[in-house]
Amino acid sequence: MDLKGFDRPGERAAAGDTRSVKVMIAGGFGTGKTTMVRSVSDIRPLTTEETLTEASAGVDRVIGVADKTQTTVSLDFGKIALNDSLVLYLFGTPGQERFWFLWNGLFKGALGAIVLVDTRRLASSFRAIEEMERQEVPFVVALNVFPDSRDHPVEEIRDALDIPEHTPVVAFDARDRASSRDVLVALIHHLKERSAAALEA
Ligand SMILES: Nc1nc2c(ncn2[C@@H]2O[C@H](COP(=O)(O)OP(=O)(O)O)[C@@H](O)[C@H]2O)c(=O)[nH]1
Ligand SMILES: [Mg+2]
């Protein structure tokens, strides 16, 4: 996919001229943020995982996330070059509400975000979507398809989560590199469409 011109609207980027863009990977607990950063990153992603104990299980609301035994207590961080002149730095947000106080600093300098949604547990991503709007970060909603996910029409999901009309909603598989990369490309196109000017800031 041709992404040339994204980094310097109206100009072709000179050889070796690379633009780095910070992208947030957000969404509820267990929606696949860590999985996505791991599958798509060119570098070995940094993650801090802590084994979920019996004691924290209630706090972390593992109900409905049966086979999840680890929860991320720190950030996922990854990097992907989409082409010669565009490198994305990916920052996964901590899923648990008790870490959300960190978000103000976390979003600083972010040009866009992906909000992951598990359609079996829509409510878990509701606050992440609200937060994107509060932070005024443009985003793409990515429906992470699990084996027992039902096939919901996109409009139904848009309604249920109150996703703005102009915000793209795409289905993908967080475990798959190409699929995860396509979601990032969709975000870049969305940013490009939204405002070429904002990208120069
Ligand atoms: N079947 C399936 N399982 C997934 C997918 N994405 C994540 N998982 C699994 O779901 C669980 C939660 O994913 P994780 O990336 O840790 O979620 P996070 O809390 O958002 O970081 C893990 O056990 C993953 O292996 C997916 O696309 N399909
Ligand atoms: Mg995680």
* Cα angle value 149/59/56 (rounded, 5°): 105
The H or E element spanning position 36 is: helix 33-40
What pLDDT score was predicted for residue 11?
A: 45
Neighbours of ion ligand 2 (CB under 5 A): 33-34, 72
pLDDT digits (tens, 9 = 90+) for 67-125: 555 554 556 899 999 999 999 999 998 766 556 666 667 788 999 999 999 999 999 99
Q: Determine the Cα–Cα distance for residues 73 and 34; give it in Å rounded to an integer.
A: 11
Taking the CB of residue 51, how many other CB atoms lie within 10 A of it? 8
Q: How far is CA 21 from CA 28, 42, 69, 80, 170, in A?
A: 23, 15, 32, 10, 21
CATH code for the domain defined by 19-200 = 3.40.50.300
Q: Which residues line ligand 1 (CB under 6 A)?
A: 27, 29-35, 67-68, 72, 95, 144, 146-147, 173-175
Tell me the domain boundaries of the chain: 19-200
**Ligand 1 centroid from CA 86, angstroms:** 27
